[in-house]
Amino acid sequence: MPPSPSLIDLPDLRLDDACALLEHDARNGQPQANESPTDYLQRVINSLCELSLKDPLTGLGNRRHFHAALGRQIESVARSGESVLLLLLDIDHFKSINDTHGHLAGDQMLRAIGQCLERCVRPVDTVARFGGEEFAIILPNCRPLFGLSLAERIRQAVANLSVQVGPLLSIQATISIGGAYAPEWVRSTPELWIERADTQLYRAKSNGRNQACIDHPQELSVSAEEKGLLYSHLAADVTNPFESSPGNVTNRVNA
């Protein structure tokens, strides 16, 4: 039988490595005055969980955090039909920045663009580093009327950045943006939603880069897989209000 938590001796847990990971926050080094061992341990655990969801270079959410947020939005869209926009953003010709100015300059550019993206969005939005030179933004309650103008505002804000990478050297970069709205009233999957946004990102880059392409909701066709996801959910939910009028469900799926 495992020992009671109250009998655990903190030194036996060997928290040195965990605390070393949290050295950016001096409070996490040692228990504070009047802090119980349980409270201290909980604080360390909470801080480690938060750290596991952050990209170490930019401080943005990492891919794990992004996928969790995307899953939550998919559930919200399925329940409420809310308009949620996913943007994928890629730095144009990023390899040439690394090749010309070095990887430290590339890192500075990534940090600067990450900070710029955070300034462009609301607290409720999610900004994450998707991987490499690619970022992602999830924008809940973003009506289709504003999607393209918002993406253009973000694109222009990045284009206006001047990042100092040396005593007498500043560089600029542009981004390409692809966006897709989640199909309303459909319990889609992260993979299908990302694929749609990625298709638009490829379109933006193929058309010359430094531009935004958004898949408007009316242009979206619900895939066979998404229809299956929707109908299997309805079959399992005998209390669904659409069950007595299947025409309503069909209209929403085919819209």
Catalytic residues, which ones? 133
**Spatial distance between the Cα atoms of 125 and 100, rounded to a whole number of angstroms:** 34
**Spatial distance between the Cα atoms of 28 and 245, rounded to a whole number of angstroms:** 57
Spatial contact of 178 and 198, defined as CB atoms under 8 Å apart: yes
- Side-chain-facing half-sphere of 54: CA atoms under 13 Å: 13
Tell me the Ramachandran region of residue 210: left when phi exceeds 0, alpha when psi lies from -120 to 50, beta otherwise.
Answer: left
Closest CA to 52 of 44, 43, 61: 61
Closest CA to 132 of 109, 155, 151: 109
**Spatial distance between the Cα atoms of 33 and 175, rounded to a whole number of angstroms:** 48
Where are the extended beta strands (E) located within the chain? 85-91, 126-131, 134-139, 163-166, 169-171, 175-181, 212-215
What are the tokens at 27? 């409070």
